[in-house]
Amino acid sequence: MSYQLADALAKECGFSHWGPLDPATIVLLPEVRDMCKANKCGAYDTSWACPPALGTLDECRERIKPYSQGILLQTTALLEDEFDGEAMQKAYEDNNERTLAFLKQFKAKVPEAMVFGGGACKKCARCSYPNAPCRFPELFTPSLEAYGIVVSDICKANSLPYYYGPLTLTYTAAALF
């Protein structure tokens, strides 16, 4: 029942591609967390949805352990050239909007679901971390990478392409239920 709902919502929310996610294929790697710690995106230690606020990889494993089903959700954009920053930013924003729409509708019917976004949380101009609780816990979407997941690997393990050809860019979100 839940997967049929997730599948229908993925289409309704406008994702480019989607497919089943078997939670047994999720591998959390310290190397991905090390990339987070390098802080190239500027979100490390500044957000509830990023490390170290998410806890250890063992704590993340415990949070995903109860789930038996999932869905991968993708937004793919065509770029004019490899430096098309405007299209890259639009794809990021489109994916976040679609993920938020999916989250609101899906969690209304499957409240225990866990939704992951594609990239760092940007719901607030400045996150309340670490001085106050998250302002929007009902909209909480840590990224797959923040959990230590290599997105291309999880897509491959679930038979969903990650690369859609030259001059494309794909953002991936997910839900567990």
Angle at the Cα of 63 from the Cα atoms of 56 and 36, rounded to 5 degrees? 40
Q: If you average pLDDT over residues 92-107, what whole number do you get?
A: 96
pLDDT at 5: 96
DSSP E strands in 14-164: the ranges are 17-20, 70-78, 114-116
Contacts of 36 (CB under 8 A, 6+ apart): 43, 44, 50, 51, 145, 146
Please state, in angstroms and rounded to a whole number, the distance separating the CA atoms of residues 81 and 96: 23
pLDDT band per the 50, 70, 90 thresholds, residue 145: very high
Which residue in 156, 150, 149 sits closest to 19, CA to CA? 156
pLDDT at 103: 97
Contacts of 24 (CB under 8 A, 6+ apart): none
Would you list the domain boundaries of the chain? 2-176
Q: If you average pLDDT over residues 97-104, what whole number do you get?
A: 97
Please state, in angstroms and rounded to a whole number, the distance separating the CA atoms of residues 173 and 117: 5
pLDDT at 63: 97
Model confidence at 135: pLDDT above 80: yes
For the stretch 146-157, pLDDT in tens is: 999 999 999 999
pLDDT band per the 50, 70, 90 thresholds, residue 40: confident
For the stretch 58-76, pLDDT in tens is: 999 999 999 999 999 999 9
- What is the overall mean pLDDT for the chain? 96
pLDDT at 104: 97
pLDDT band per the 50, 70, 90 thresholds, residue 42: confident
Please state, in angstroms and rounded to a whole number, the distance separating the CA atoms of residues 103 and 73: 11
Specify whether the CB–CB gap between 94 and 77 falls below 8 A: yes
Buried b (16+ CB within 10 A) or exposed e, 57-73: beebeeebeebebbbbb
Residue position matching structure tokens 């909007």: 97
